Amino acid sequence: MAEKSIIPSESVINKILIIRNQKVILDRDLAVLYNVETRALKQAVRRNNRRFPTDFMFILSGKEINKMVSQNVILSKSFFGGANPIAFTEQGVAILSSVPKSERAIEVI
């Protein structure tokens, strides 16, 4: 019998963006997937920053955020709550799944 996925693949695929010519998922979307607050996810990343070299994640610039607004990817800059979001590459997402202390993040691994 095939095992059911914890998170439907469509919900993950719809969150993948191309930024700096890389496929990434933003911190806010990963926080929802892992069932943690974005603030808690960012804190966990800061505490474990040696696990995340620049090819695993990067912080979006104001220019990149403005471009996302102009292309209707997000409604407004306030979507991010005042902090520039972190974009995680595939490798960053893999490492990140071991950082937050939530049951959902553990199940995703």
Q: What is the CATH number of the domain that holds 62?
A: 3.10.260
Q: Is residue 32 situated within a structural domain?
A: yes
pLDDT along the chain (109 residues), means of 10: 54 86 93 88 89 90 87 71 88 82 49
Q: Is residue 67 situated within a structural domain?
A: yes
According to the model, what pLDDT value does residue 33 have? 87
Q: Is residue 89 situated within a structural domain?
A: yes
Q: Is residue 3 situated within a structural domain?
A: no
Close Cβ partners of 91 (under 8 Å, ≥ 6 residues apart): 55, 56
Range of the domain at 45: 9-108
Instruction: Give the number of domains in the chain.
Output: 1
According to the model, what pLDDT value does residue 9 have? 65
According to the model, what pLDDT value does residue 1 have? 45
According to the model, what pLDDT value does residue 2 have? 47
